[in-house]
Amino acid sequence: MASSLFTDPVSDANISFEFFPPNTEKMEKTLWDSITQLESLNPKFVSVTYGAGGSTRERTHKTVKRILDETTLSPAAHLTCVGHSKSEVNAILEQYWEDGVRHIVALRGDMPDMNQDYIPHPQGYQNAADLVKGIKQIADFDISVAAYPEIHPDSPNLSADLDNLKRKIDNGASRAITQAFFEADTYFRFLDHCQSMSIDVPILPGILPVMNYKSLMRFMDLCGTKIPKWMQDLFEDLDDRPQTRSMIAATIANELCRKLYAGGVKDFHIYTLNRSELTYAICHMLGHRPKKEV
């Protein structure tokens, strides 16, 4: 690959997008404008998140169903087991299967108070690995799970975290999607560890275009992702310059994708935050072009 800032327009990268369910009419419009814009890029799948403890249960379902009914996209529904009994989770899964949804992103989720230690529901799935096993007993869904290149904060160490990921795969997941990270080496190191554990499913890097550095700091602190000093420096004194921040965000994300691509990565999962412009720019720079009508 060329060493310039751009990849050649090779279009052999696979992309997928993550959206979250909107909770106002305005956000609904933003989401659907974005979905319309991004649909032409022909992503492998698009996923829709599930709010903590089921707080978006109806909205996630409605969004996934609308994607299925009104677009050519293949939707994946996120589902967490925190705060739900097995029968509640199973009923959601049965409904998705009946609707024609075939891909679930299976997650444990977090307690409503993020500082509280995780306690499984007494009649619920214990964790994501247990949930994956349960999903496969309901129907033959395609299942994605979460992976953590910088280790999940609840994990005592890397080895326990990798064991947990392996359990999720052995129970039936066919790919993992990573938590956001900002250094390509972090991902490549993680991939090596996965290979040494014979975890051989695709591990899609989760690409987060950073627009708002301050809110990122709060969020990443909770999920254990390190924010490099150079990134802090890049966003310094730009609080009142959203357009400049947006350009920088695209450059950072593109640079990360370019390094990943150069290292052989062909699948990219982009956290769109329901906005199309940055995501479109990243895909374009990866050499991805809208499919042409014939």
Q: Closest separation between CB of residue 46 and ligand FAD, Å?
A: 13
Question: Would you say 77 or 248 has its CB closer to ligand FAD?
Answer: 77
Taking the least distance from each CB to ligand FAD, the nearer of 39 and 130 is 130
Greatest Cα pair distance in the chain:
55
CB of 147 to ligand FAD, least distance (A): 7
Phi, psi of 204, rounded to the nearest 5 degrees: -75, 125
CA distance 283 to 6: 11
- Shortest Cβ 115–ligand FAD spacing (Å): 12
Q: Which is nearer to ligand FAD, 59 or 108 (CB)?
A: 108
Q: Closest CB to ligand FAD belongs to which residue? A: 155
Complex with ligand FAD: residue 10 or 160, whichever CB lies closer: 160
Closest approach of ligand FAD to the CB of residue 119, in Å: 12
Contacts of 204 (CB under 8 A, 6+ apart): 16, 144, 175, 176, 177, 178, 267, 268, 269
For the question of residue 255 being annotated catalytic, the response is no
CB of 130 to ligand FAD, least distance (A): 8
Given 18, 58, 88, 150, which residue is catalytic? Answer: 18
Positions in the binding site for ligand FAD (CB under 6 A): 49-50, 52, 78, 80, 105, 107-110, 127-129, 146, 148, 152, 154-155, 160-161, 164, 177, 179, 206, 223
Closer by beta carbon to ligand FAD, 128 or else 250: 128
d(CA 233, CA 111): 33
Active-site annotation, residues:
18
